[in-house]
A and B are shown apart, each in its own frame.
Chain A
Amino acid sequence: MDGSNAPACWHDVCGLDDIWPDTGVCARIAGRQVAVFRLRDDRLFALDNYDPAADANVLSRGLVGNLGERLVVASPVYKHHYDLVTGACLDDPALAVRAYRVRLVDGRVQVAV
């Protein structure tokens, strides 16, 4: 049902400028809610929008930054930190969200789902 075995394909999401630097947006891609983040150096990341710690679709609304070496987003509900690269939760090893590949093509943001 979650399609993890299906080959991922790239989906056009939005223009780069639709995401303000150091913020995230939520995109609906193939029935999923994906949080797409843009750092101030225009690096892009994508995670599930669903925060399992909060049982709510909110991760795109979290603050991004770094904790030590790791790039993270902090969920706005209970402030769990998720690794932008791997989706692992730094505060609770039992929790993780899915991370997606994301790329920039001709000023357009694309996510592989």
Chain B
Amino acid sequence: MKLVVIGNGMVGHRLLEELSAAALPDLHITVLCEEPRPAYDRVQLSSFFSGKSAADLSLVAPGFFERSGITLRLNTRASAIDRARRQVTTANGDTLHYDKLVLATGSYPFVPPVPGSDRPDCFVYRTIEDLEALREAGRRARVGVVVGGGLLGLEAAKAVQDMGLVTHVVEFAPRLMAVQIDDGGGRLLRSKIEALGVTVHTQKNTVEIVDGDTARHKLRFADGTELETDLIVFSAGIRPRDELARACGLAVGPRGGIVIDNHCRTPDDDIYAIGECALWNGKIYGLVAPGYEMARVCAAHLAAGLAAERRATQPLPAFHGADMSTKLKLMGVEVASIGDALGTTPGAQVCLYSDERKQVYKKLVISADGKRLLGAVLVGDAGEYAALLQMMRSGSALPDRPELLILPASDGADKSALGVDAWPDTAPVCSCNNVAKGAVCAAVRAGATSIGAIKSATRAGTGCGGCVPLITQIMKAEMKKQGLSVNHHLCEHFAYSRQELYHLVRVGGIRDFATLLARHGKGLGCDVCKPVAASIFASCWNEFVLARDKAALQDTNDYFLANLQKDGTYSIVPRIAGGEITPEKLIKIGEVAKKYRLYTKITGGQRIDLFGARVDQLPLIWQELIDAGFESGHAYGKAVRTVKSCVGSTWCRYGVQDSVGMALKIEHRYKGLRAPHKLKLAVSGCARECAEAQSKDVGVIATEKGWNLYVCGNGGMKPRHAELLAGDLDEQTLIRYIDRFLMFYIRTADRLQRTSTWRDNLEGGLDYLKDVIVHDKLGIGAELEAEMAQVIGSYVCEWKKALEDPQTRKRFRSFVNGDGVDEHVVFVEERGQIRPATPAEKQARFKGIAVVNEPA
């Protein structure tokens, strides 16, 4: 069957994912996408202005189209549909035959038809191209106006403000977000947004846009007032893209939208419409969740058509509408609207809590009989959103005193009615992906006991991420029910999480394992808690890791200050800070490698790894390296490893700052710092980002004005782009933030948790991290800096120290009762260097057969 899908937006792409997951044979899909790039996350579009790239926003899993055999044609607009011939014509004249056709054409931004709205530097806010154009214009502008004070308008206002422009919002209605929230909520939202420096104009009807006197444009309003601005963003609602459907005679609504039934089918059996272009029961849904639901329904219907014999066995899912409840964070202000937020149901009663000092507004809309929740508005704090939404959707009975649901939880007020335990399994928890509580619980029962596992098992929390705290709650509740311990106990010896243990060590001034075990643990310890304790001691006090009372805690890498390899030999990585090395030192490494016959390889962190050293060789090799001016590279430790850098402004034609110089400063500042897991850093000298800093735990990227600081990136197993923590920093502030960031991570992360997973599990996410590091909301900034200063001040090269201490040096021997080497370690030669022999090669050798090189 030939399926043509017109449109590769969020909903169109979800359809492809659903179809691909169903793995239907004999289905050939062609996708026509008028945009130059495949599906991306329009919901997060504004993050484009806070450092995200177009690639970050992509919704397409790497290799998705290749793997699923779907033909994607970018920059290809469909221009006509011939229903009789079942053909789609594209703008460049191709015709494609279809058996089934899905219209996922989305919507376009509505621009009020006022004279002058087509002037230059007037924009809409829909595609990445729109944002790129806006950003370009923003560089030349001082003032920006957003026309439209709805949800998307306020998003656009944030973007305009992020560009550093004086920002105005112009709204026709008497309040902001007039559709979702009431007057009281609108008032609070307005005051909060104005406090952030955005000027709000309500009840303004723009009649004309003309040349300005002090700026590029002037908006004239019906009430005779005027507003000058350099650029304008129109965000006054959306209209369905239904022109193709109209032209081929499909039914459309009086105000647009392609008419569909409960299976997302148009009156033409072979044509479906999903997402914002579709009109269901007289309604257009401008949110992504209902669109995803339509994609699911449509995919199931298409699949059933392919496998007609299965049709009778299972009822097909159908679309039954969606409520427009929504929760979002606008310019840092939490806003939520649930169900009948405006209280238009006849007889509806209102229960209201408002605190202007605390800037919180909460309203419940209750049925006439007082038994059910119809809707709610939350501004300033939307913590109860998930619970109230569930209550409204399930129609469950309200508690006797519903006001307690929104009153601050003090004076013994009982909020237990909000607890997840009381929810039915059908309660939706992730609306982006339509996952119910029951699915999360089932995943827990099937063994998923971490948020990551829940996400991959159910998809819950992988959309906007807003439900992650809720899912965590549900997961923990279910784990408890299953008798699974929800504790984060490190191991059987310590009934504490790593974070708690860190605190106990720091506050109790504990410096050795025996004391820690005696005060807070039991038993002898194990291979889990010992290295954790050693790492915490090192992070807090930075004493020599091979001191007699510390050495026994170290994993073999730290015990021998080298990296254990599969055959029991070790590898050596001298520090090459910033990847900068003199020819003399380079030669020295070569000489040492040659002398001890080590395999050499350049690492990803711009260093050189020397493989194949025996324990007894390590001190000899290091003596030579240290004599030549090298120091330990800590490649063996859960510690700061490298600061990778590009060559920067010193040599590069494009560099704007000295990235190598900065990398050296940073590496020498933090070298050897031990942490819950390894730490990789990088510095790029310009936005071209040759050092790949955005894949590092800490990435620094030069700007014209200073340095941008990115955090919590990761390459490796689960790549994650780093996020912008703060921009255009001077050197001093940059270092201060890195100090705080690293110490905060060391304080709070779990054992073996990289910064990326730590960040994914951090409640409050990036905003919280910014609050702690940049705004110092917890008031611990100075403390973190002081703790870092202590570690930095007590740095010594561990290898130097180890070589100076005869007792330590004596431990580096292969056998306690004699010399000699491990006969089980066998090397063969390959490409001019050694490598460990394979078991077959070893056997051959022991039988006296000459080992031959394998052909390369």
Interface residues of A (CB under 8 A from B): 12-14, 18-23, 25-29, 33, 36, 39-40, 50, 54-58, 61-68, 71-72, 74, 76-77, 79, 81
B566 touches A13 (CB 8 A): no
B824 touches A56 (CB 8 A): yes
A74 touches B524 (CB 8 A): no
Contact of A28 among B531, B818, B825 (CB under 8 A): B818
Q: How far is the CA of A63 from the CA of B817 in the complex (A)?
A: 21
B566 touches A56 (CB 8 A): yes
Task: Beyond the given A65-B493, A67-B492, please list 14 additional residue pairs across the A-B interface where CB-CB is below 8 A.
Answer: A12-B817, A21-B552, A28-B818, A50-B824, A56-B567, A56-B568, A57-B822, A58-B556, A61-B559, A65-B525, A65-B530, A66-B523, A66-B524, A66-B526
Q: How far is the CA of A55 from the CA of B841 in the complex (A)?
A: 14
Q: Count A-B pairs with CB separation below 8 Å.
A: 94
Q: How far is the CA of A44 from the CA of B814 in the complex (A)?
A: 19
Residues in A whose Cβ lies below 8 Å from that of B531: 63
Contact of A23 among B551, B567, B820 (CB under 8 A): B551
Residues in A whose Cβ lies below 8 Å from that of B552: 20-23, 40, 63
B269 at the interface (CB under 8 A from A): no
Q: How far is the CA of A67 from the CA of B491 in the complex (A)?
A: 9
B527 at the interface (CB under 8 A from A): yes
B382 at the interface (CB under 8 A from A): no
B820 touches A65 (CB 8 A): no
B816 touches A63 (CB 8 A): no
A28 touches B527 (CB 8 A): no
A and B contact pairs by CB, cutoff 8 A, 6 listed: A26-B816, A58-B556, A61-B556, A63-B552, A64-B524, A77-B566
Q: How far is the CA of A54 from the CA of B839 in the complex (A)?
A: 12
Does more than half of chain A's interface fall in helix, strand or loop, or is it mixed? strand
Contact of A62 among B527, B551, B557 (CB under 8 A): B527
B811 at the interface (CB under 8 A from A): yes
Residues in A whose Cβ lies below 8 Å from that of B839: 55
A65 touches B556 (CB 8 A): no
B381 at the interface (CB under 8 A from A): no
Residues in A whose Cβ lies below 8 Å from that of B557: 76
Q: How far is the CA of A40 from the CA of B548 in the complex (A)?
A: 12
Q: How far is the CA of A12 from the CA of B363 in the complex (A)?
A: 82
B564 at the interface (CB under 8 A from A): yes
B526 touches A67 (CB 8 A): yes
Residues in B whose Cβ lies below 8 Å from that of A63: 526-527, 530-531, 552-553, 555
Q: How far is the CA of A29 from the CA of B816 in the complex (A)?
A: 11
Q: How far is the CA of A76 from the CA of B566 in the complex (A)?
A: 10
B768 at the interface (CB under 8 A from A): no
B846 at the interface (CB under 8 A from A): no
Residues in A whose Cβ lies below 8 Å from that of B523: 65-66
Residues in B whose Cβ lies below 8 Å from that of A68: 492
B64 at the interface (CB under 8 A from A): no
B815 at the interface (CB under 8 A from A): yes
Chain B residue nearest to A38 (CB atoms) is B552
A110 to chain B, nearest CB (A): 11
Most buried by B among A29, A63, A68, A72: A63
A40 to chain B, nearest CB (A): 8
Q: How far is the CA of A19 from the CA of B817 in the complex (A)?
A: 11
B564 touches A25 (CB 8 A): no
A3 to chain B, nearest CB (A): 17
B526 touches A76 (CB 8 A): no
A75 to chain B, nearest CB (A): 9
Residues in B whose Cβ lies below 8 Å from that of A77: 564, 566, 568
Q: How far is the CA of A57 from the CA of B568 in the complex (A)?
A: 6
A73 to chain B, nearest CB (A): 8
Residues in A whose Cβ lies below 8 Å from that of B825: 57
B526 touches A54 (CB 8 A): no
The 9 A-B residue pairs whose C-beta atoms are closest, nearest first, are A74-B527, A65-B526, A76-B556, A22-B552, A56-B568, A25-B816, A63-B527, A66-B524, A61-B556
A102 to chain B, nearest CB (A): 13
Residues in B whose Cβ lies below 8 Å from that of A12: 817
A25 to chain B, nearest CB (A): 4
A76 touches B814 (CB 8 A): no
Most buried by A among B548, B556, B816, B824: B816
Chain B residue nearest to A15 (CB atoms) is B816
A65 touches B524 (CB 8 A): yes
Chain A residue nearest to B526 (CB atoms) is A65
Give the contacts of B542-594 with A (CB-CB under 8 A). Answer: 548, 551-553, 555-557, 559-560, 564, 566-568
Give the contacts of B592-606 with A (CB-CB under 8 A). Answer: none
Residues in A whose Cβ lies below 8 Å from that of B492: 67-68
Q: How far is the CA of A39 from the CA of B525 in the complex (A)?
A: 11
B117 to chain A, nearest CB (A): 67
Q: How far is the CA of A62 from the CA of B525 in the complex (A)?
A: 13
Q: How far is the CA of A68 from the CA of B491 in the complex (A)?
A: 11
A28 touches B524 (CB 8 A): no
Q: How far is the CA of A110 from the CA of B613 in the complex (A)?
A: 29
A58 touches B568 (CB 8 A): yes
